[in-house]
């Protein structure tokens, strides 16, 4: 897709878009290292704990994290639909709505945890849950900003440059979906 997209760009624009694409890849590698470091810390704690969840802690219900997973999965599908035809912005609008639904279920999860007494001050286990979900949510908020930016600014014209920018934002969005799925499995399911 990128080779076809760059065919109609000037040499200067090609250079800018290549730098932009490399910048997104470097950012994603940095984010992957952040989450990998958090996961290694979690694994060390999880596998050295004599009981899981730790004594006195309740494992959160899978309903809200499962619903979050469903929403972020559907949002990736809708973004792929959008990428296949960026002139039709419905896929992008659905992606934004599903991203907001993901954030809503996350806020419900935090409220549910708080209502059963699972607070960051309750120990390492709840701190891990909050840290992972808050950091991920912060990235989702940034990605939602990029999605809105695509909708409002970039896609006024569906040209080659817009296609390349949509591709970069898509890499970020899909990356966050993969990270959430790994978090869902390791923190809430296992």
Domain ranges of the chain: 2-189
Mean pLDDT of 85-110: 95
Mean pLDDT of 86-105: 95
CATH of domain 2-189: 1.20.120.80
Answer whether residue 3 shows pLDDT above 60: no
Answer whether residue 81 shows pLDDT above 80: yes
Q: Could you tell me what percent of the chain has a pLDDT over 90?
A: 59
Ordered alpha helix ranges (H), 58-159: 63-84, 90-115, 124-152
Mean pLDDT of 71-83: 97
Mean pLDDT of 121-150: 94
Answer whether residue 6 shows pLDDT above 60: no
For position 189, what pLDDT does the model report? 92
Q: Is 95 exposed, middle or buried (0-12, 13-18, 19+ CB in 10 A)?
A: buried
Confidence label for 9 from pLDDT (cuts 50, 70 and 90): low
């Amino acid at each position: 897709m990128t080779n076809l997209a760059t065919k109609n760009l000037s040499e200067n624009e090609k250079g800018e878009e290549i730098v932009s694409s490399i910048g997104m890849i470097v950012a994603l590698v940095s984010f992957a290292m952040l989450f990998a470091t958090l996961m290694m810390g979690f694994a060390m704690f999880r596998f050295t704990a004599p009981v899981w969840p730790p004594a006195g802690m309740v494992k959160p219900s899978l309903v809200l994290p499962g619903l979050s997973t469903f929403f972020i999965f559907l949002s990736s599908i809708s973004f792929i639909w959008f990428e296949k035809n960026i002139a039709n912005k419905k896929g992008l609008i659905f992606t934004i709505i599903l991203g907001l639904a993901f954030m809503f279920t996350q806020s419900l999860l935090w409220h549910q945890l708080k209502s059963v007494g699972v607070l960051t001050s309750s120990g390492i286990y709840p701190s891990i849950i909050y840290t992972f979900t808050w950091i991920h949510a912060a990235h989702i908020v940034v990605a939602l900003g990029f999605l809105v930016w695509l909708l409002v600014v970039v896609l006024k014209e569906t040209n080659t440059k817009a296609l390349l920018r949509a591709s970069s934002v898509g890499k970020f969005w899909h990356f966050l979906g993969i990270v959430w799925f790994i978090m869902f499995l390791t923190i809430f399911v296992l």
